[in-house]
Structure 1
Amino acid sequence: MDEQYIKKLQEATLDFSVEEFLQKMYQEFGSGLVLVTGFGASGVVIIDMVARLKLPITIVSVDTGRLPEETYTLMEKIQEKYGKIVQLQFPDREEVQSLVGRKGVFSFRKGLKDRKECCRVRKVLPLKRILSGYKAWISGVRKDQSVTRLGANRLELDIQRGRIVKCNPLVNWTEKQVWEYIKKFDVPFNSLYENGFKSIGCAPCTRAVREGEDIRGGRWWWEDASQKECGIHGYCEISKQDKP
């Protein structure tokens, strides 16, 4: 894939609704398209849309080994409601053992470099293994989630993972739109959202959001807001920005 291809595809889908966009992505990539989710609010909306559109898209998730119990409960609810078996990808056991052996269970609290190394072992590398056989992947990234995502677009070229296409169907949606959809269609969601959480990752690195913080304020709260990415969404080459 190259930038010119992304640009043409983006222009062709510029006025598409989210549902039309998802249908087009499946038409374009077929079985080469995969939905990657951490079961956040945006992710469950996309799962519901895919189910309603009857698109046979594979759904995968990275189980870091440190997810909250509430996330596993949500996985079961998703599978019960939609009949879709979510494929889980786990970190390499030897890589995790090496990291913990060298730096301890809470190495991510020692500094940004150590935190990103933990994310790399537990999240980034497992995702890279997932995507190695695909042409395109779907994520729940939205611009309003944090300052690090303001430049995100509906279609991006993911250079880090072999120049495949990254699709962000809800990139221009707001938090309000997401929750309106969840309520309208009775979409299962993580119960932690009812306790002040707005972005949910690994249990030790996630807390409820405080007044004045952005949506991802409860993630790695000891770090500067400009650094709050695990690496999954931090290395994409952004194509020409969507027109309003």
Structure 2
Amino acid sequence: MSLNYKSLNKEDYERLNKDLERKDSLDVLKWAYGEFGDRLVYSCSFGVEGMVLIDLISKVKKDATILFLDTDFHFKETYELIEKVKKRYPTLNIELAKPELTPEQQAEQHGDRLWERDPDACCNLRKMVPLERELSRYNAWISGLRREQSPTRANTQFVNQDNRFNSIKICPLIHWTEEEIWMYVKLHQLDYNELHDKRFPSIGCEYCTKPVAKGEDPRSGRWANSAKTECGLHK
């Protein structure tokens, strides 16, 4: 019987993180899959952190489920990378979750270029609602959040209470630096999104992601013309 979101309180999360605080990422994944098994899913955006996590997960559970929120608006490089990952890890179960509305239906119901006029609404339709639907099938999910990525992620723990999706969010990479991520990628010769070499440190949908100038915040290229910094998945 795996841990259940409804049965855990603040003290339970503190105890779990205390038990795991000296563990490394692989140990955290072993604990997570030992606890949740097939009731655990990794929601992956296929950024560089995702490549590291997929490789680590493949060492722990070769038939793990990897979930990608296919908004229909991703870069072609992202879709190409997914195909490379499928070939490298043929036993992993990689699922692409689609929104209920096609881009044409969204434009018809909400107007054209919704991502420009109301990016929160667009993210809700194409990311939040699909993820909520998919996570309802699982007891917990894995995320590649790292503490150094942004101030809003600085207090992320290995095991987190996720009130937004009524779930348990597990973040094995919280202590990794960007340098360590890239060292792992190069050491293990992992594929990664080619856009990372073109000043795209954080990659989302094509319409809402811009290259970042040297010295700028790595996430400043996301929703560059608005005050938005998160799609809402990790608030």
* Normalised TM-score (structure 1): 0.88
Does 2:172 align with 1:169? yes
Post-superposition CA distance 1:38-93 (Å, at most 9, x none): 10111110000111234432111110010000000000000001112410100002
Question: Structure 1: which amino acid aligns with 2:112?
Answer: V
Where does the alignment leave 5 or more consecutive residues of structure 1 unmatched?
235-244
Aligned residues, how many? 227
Please give the alpha-carbon distance, in whole angstroms, between the structure 2 residues aligned to 1:223 and 1:79.
Answer: 35
Contact 1:148 1:229 in 2 (8 A): no
Q: Does 1:233 align with 2:234?
A: yes
Identify the residue that residue 107 of structure 2 maps to in structure 1: 100
Report how far residue 211 of structure 1 moved. 2.3
Tell which deviates more after alignment, 23-32 or 4-13: 4-13
Aligned partners of 1:9, 1:104: CA distance in 2, in Å? 46
Q: How far did residue 142 of structure 1 move?
A: 1.0
In 2, Cα distance between equivalents of 1:54 and 1:151: 28
Q: Which moved more, 1:35-44 or 1:100-109?
A: 100-109
Q: Quote how far apart the aligned CAs of 1:98 are.
A: 5.5
Deviation at 1:130, TM superposition (A): 0.8
Q: Quote the offset at 1:102 in angstroms.
A: 4.4
Looking at structure 2, the residues matched to 151 and 145 of structure 1 have their Cα atoms a distance apart, in angstroms, of: 11
Deviations 1:101-124 (A, max 9, x none): 2443322222xxx11010000001
Aligned position for 1:33: 40
Partner of 2:169, secondary structure, is strand
Q: 1:200–1:206: 8 Å Cα contact kept in structure 2?
A: yes
Correspondence 1:222 to 2:225: yes
Whether 1:22 aligns to 2:23 is: no
Q: Please point out which of 130, 133, 136 is paired with 2:134.
A: 130
Q: 1:9 offset after TM fit, Å?
A: 1.4
Unaligned runs of 5+ in 2: none
For 1:91, the aligned partner's letter is: P
User: How well do the aligned residues superpose, as a CA RMSD in angstroms?
Assistant: 1.5
Equivalent-residue separation in structure 1 for 2:112 and 2:203 (angstroms): 20
CA distance in structure 2 between the aligned counterparts of 1:138 and 1:200, rounded to whole angstroms:
18
Segments ≥4 residues shifted beyond 6 Å: none
Report if the CA contact (8 A) 2:64-2:93 is conserved. Answer: no
Q: Which amino acid is 1:93 matched to?
A: L
For 1:116, the equivalent position in structure 2 comes to: 120
Alpha-carbon distance in 2 for matches of 1:105, 1:186 = 41
TM-score between both structures, scaled by the size of structure 2: 0.91
Matched with 2:99 is 91
Which residue matches 2:82? 75
